[in-house]
Structure 1
Amino acid sequence: MKREELMGTYDAIFSLGDLCLTSIQLKKHQLRPYSGVMDWVATPELSKLNMLLRNRFDNLMKFEHLRIVGPAGPDMICVSDDYYHFVSNHDFGTDKNSLTHIGSYPEVMEKYNRRINRFLGKMRTAKRILFVRTEGSLEDVTELQQVLRDLVKNDFSILVINHENVNGIVEKNWPLSNVYSVAFPNVDKWEGNHHLWSEILRGIKLEQ
């Protein structure tokens, strides 16, 4: 799709990972009024995320799939759902969890179930949805497009940003009807591309 087709007003916008970077930028640009399922986790394998969406989040973070990875900063424990390769750095605080014990599992799952229900509800009711994903191959994004066609009732678009050895914004011109794909520089992607995010999100609005 062309850039001008991506622009306009949406009544729902969701991050699809692969890191917190996407949700941080959406919030910075007033495009994220609530937390989504993939906002504060790592989903490095888009193929696994496609499976998760195809399964309507069934068995996400099922207890027997969880593995304690290690510390995530001074007061958080990193926990991985190895079935979906869904890695949490921000859910399991050291007040109730340790490197040998997950104590806040019920509260964490209550939060995720709330976010899942909101997400699935928007898939049914929103008239126009934007999904934003960093990192994904043409093959995996083609699969994502089909998964979302089965999930979303009305219109949707996908913005894909891959970080590569480029200068500025480079359009990829993928042959996918509702996908706008670009490359950003891969040097200091957390702090060095703020102006590029502002440019790519210019003209995109969220209906209040």
Structure 2
Amino acid sequence: MELREIGGQYDAIFSLGMNCLPAIQLERNGIRPYTGVLDWVEVQHLPNVTEMIRNRFSDFALRHNLVYHTMLNNFVFLRDVKNGMIIVHDFPYPRNTATHLPDYDAFRAKMDRRIERFLSKAASSRRILFVRTGGLPEEALELESALASIVTGEFHILLVNHNPVKGLVENHWPLKHTCGVLLPDQPDIWYGNDAYWKQILKNVKYKP
């Protein structure tokens, strides 16, 4: 799938991680209508996302699968050992600690609402876009298969990798639903590639 095919109007747009960057860029470009399941978590490996989608997020962040990972910026980071995922923004310290998570029930209710919305939009949208950073073409093919099992309409995947390139580079992968692109792997990927993200998403429109 080519980058020019990504443009157009979508009924739903979701980030699939690997971190907060896709959600941030969707927000900056005015096409993030709501918070997705994977907006504020870290899932380094795309096969973990694919497996969660195949399971319809049935084992997402279950309490018995969460262990203390670290603490940063006054948040307790938790690792979901089942899904290879790190939860980074939902358990503020000192209210939450490595051994005491009073915010878990509220977090669980919030995530259940997001999962329900994700699955509902997947089943009802005429055209839907998923944005992901990090992944190989063979992993993207498996992701396409998983999404095809829950999406009833047309769907596209924008998969961005950061490599030592000079600018925006298309991968031209021979995949039906996935457009792969490369962006410069510069020190500040959070802001340094804003112009390229704007170029990528300039023709993407959201209309519920």
TM-score, with normalisation over the residues of structure 2?
0.97
Amino acid at match of 2:35: S
SS in 1 for 2:175: coil
Asked if residue 62 in structure 1 is aligned to residue 62 in structure 2, the reply is yes
Structure 1, unmatched stretches of 5+, are none
Asked if residue 23 in structure 1 is aligned to residue 23 in structure 2, the reply is yes
Alignment RMSD, CA only? 1.0
Q: 2: distance between equivalents of 1:83 and 1:182?
A: 29
Q: 1: distance between equivalents of 2:82 and 2:43?
A: 12
Q: Map residues 1-208 of structure 1 onto 2, 5 A cutoff.
A: 1-74=1-74, 76-187=75-186, 188-208=188-208
What count of residue pairs does the alignment treat as equivalent?
Answer: 207
SS in 1 for 2:149: helix
Q: 2: distance between equivalents of 1:160 and 1:190?
A: 16
Q: 2: distance between equivalents of 1:95 and 1:59?
A: 27
Amino acid at match of 1:4: R
More off after superposition, 64-73 vs 106-115: 64-73
Question: Identity percentage over the alignment?
Answer: 39
User: How far did residue 128 of structure 1 move?
Assistant: 0.1
User: How far did residue 158 of structure 1 move?
Assistant: 0.4
Amino acid at match of 1:38: L
Q: 2: distance between equivalents of 1:3 and 1:64?
A: 41
TM-score, with normalisation over the residues of structure 1?
0.97
Q: 2: distance between equivalents of 1:198 and 1:108?
A: 32
SS in 1 for 2:106: helix
Q: 1: distance between equivalents of 2:182 and 2:7?
A: 18
Q: 1: distance between equivalents of 2:191 and 2:2?
A: 27
Moved over 2 A (4+): none
Asked if 1 retains the 8 angstrom alpha-carbon contact of 2:3 and 2:170, the reply is: no
Amino acid at match of 1:122: K
For residues 83-123 of structure 1, give each alpha carbon's deviation from its aligned partner in whole angstroms, at most 9, with x where no partner exists: 10111110111243112222211110000000000000001
Structure 2, unmatched stretches of 5+, are none
